[in-house]
Amino acid sequence: MATTSYLRVDVFCDRPFGGNPLAVFPEADDLGDDTMRLLAREMNLSETVFCLTPTAPQADTRLRIFTVDREVPMAGHPTVGTIFALCESGILDVGDGETVLQAELGVGVLPVVVRKRDGVVESVTMTQRAPRFGEPFGDVELAARALGLRADQLCPGELPIRVVDTGIPWLLIPCEDLRAVQRIDPVASACRQLAERTGTDLIHAFTQDVVDHSSSVHTRHVWFGTVTPSEDPATGSAAGCLGSYLVHEQVLLAAPDVELTVEQGLEIGRPSRIRVRVATSKGRVNEVQVGGTAVLMGGGEIRV
């Protein structure tokens, strides 16, 4: 029976056992779709990434990203974590300083910046697509039921509930304070209704009331009934959407750009920090970057 190797990396953290764990299969050209799905289930993580020979001539690698039950066209921690793992392990050879790589994803080829010093990868930053903003979602009662909260704990200052898409669509729900976010207890039936009404089952709650005062926003991945085996401790695609939302709603001023730090994962003991940069042109968000650091935890082989 053949074997294939994999790497394990914790993403959006600077020490082991924090951030969001990820499995990366660096040489997946010989793996079929069904095998990739089975391996993603076997890893039982929020995402598993398979690296293939790119089809786009300008790309350095092609990434296919699987949750336990689906393939997704783009995700933040898998992209940042995979490029980190490939560079830190020497599979992708980059020198000290700043190197721009091109990653081929389901949404197209996106630039990824690797910063390395003294042979150590210090950070990886991906550029996401310019955001698409959905209309405000007005059924606050339903959103509150989905989160297990009261309606008066949502939408402080009349901030709207809204779908934002920088590669995949996230429903962003503003909460009044840290206590509300910490008390979230998702109700699956209401989450399903909310997903049907909004067109996405990716639900992300946030507040500007933070634990670490160097952070800008505190977030939680709300519903994990069909996407991940447990609560996601760091969600890079949602962070890009959230930064775009905060600029779009004029909570943050980007003149012409703004940087923020998202804290996540504290409620489940895997603290994470995601750095986001949002740039504007003529009053519109035109560039979103999401990045951070990671820790290469190890690797192994698995029979296929």
E-strand stretches of the chain: 3-11, 20-25, 48-52, 61-66, 71-72, 97-105, 108-117, 120-128, 132-133, 162-165, 169-174, 203-207, 217-221, 257-264, 272-281, 284-292, 294-303
Rounded CA-CA distance 75/129 in Å is 11
259 Cβ partners below 8 Å, 6+ apart?
A: 275, 276, 277, 278
E strand or H helix at 243: helix 236-248
Decide if 122 is catalytic: no
Q: Which two tokens stand for residue 19?
A: 């951030």
E strand or H helix at 78: helix 76-88
Answer yes or no: are the C-beta atoms of 56 and 70 closer than 8 Å: no
Rounded CA-CA distance 108/142 in Å is 35
E strand or H helix at 157: none
Q: Which two tokens stand for residue 104?
A: 């081929």
Q: Which two tokens stand for residue 97?
A: 């300083």
Rounded CA-CA distance 57/41 in Å is 31
Catalytic annotation, pick one of 47, 88, 231, 263: 47
User: Please, what is the Cα angle at 20 between 14 and 25, to 5 degrees?
Assistant: 105
Rounded CA-CA distance 157/106 in Å is 37
Q: Mind telling me the catalytic residues?
A: 47
